[in-house]
Amino acid sequence: MIKITCRKCNSPNIRKNGHTKSGRQKCHSRDCNFYSTLNLKKMELEEKSELIEKLYQERLSQKAISRITGISHPILSKILKKSCTSDR
């Protein structure tokens, strides 16, 4: 499950507040009263990027990782590039 937290205060005390026209989840933080929209696709990708890094450390090929996670190869290599630079 994807944990939803407030973008402003990081509180998990969030109330779902319908959707925008583009299908994003609208949320309202009870702690700081901040209204935000969530990019669930982006969050899902961030969740998967952890798994991707683990698989990559096991020396699986990017093709294999792409098959396992269901993430297309261009996006996959973007994630791997990002994770390599953020380590330093």
Residue ranges in contact with Zn ion by CB under 5 A: 6, 8-9, 11, 29, 31-32, 34
> What per-residue string of b and e applies to 53-67 under the rule 16 or more CB within 10 Å gives b?
bebbeeeeeeeebbe
CB of 74 to Zn ion, least distance (A): 34
Q: How far is the CB of 22 from Zn ion (least distance, A)?
A: 22
Helical packing angle, 62-69 and 40-57, nearest 10°: 140
- State the nearest-atom distance from the C-beta of 4 to Zn ion, in Å: 11
Our CB check for Zn ion shows the closer of 6 and 71 to be: 6
Separation between Cα atoms, residue 67 and residue 69, nearest integer Å:
6
Which of 10, 61 has the CB closer to Zn ion? Answer: 10
Rounded distance between C-alpha atoms, residue 44 and residue 41, angstroms: 5
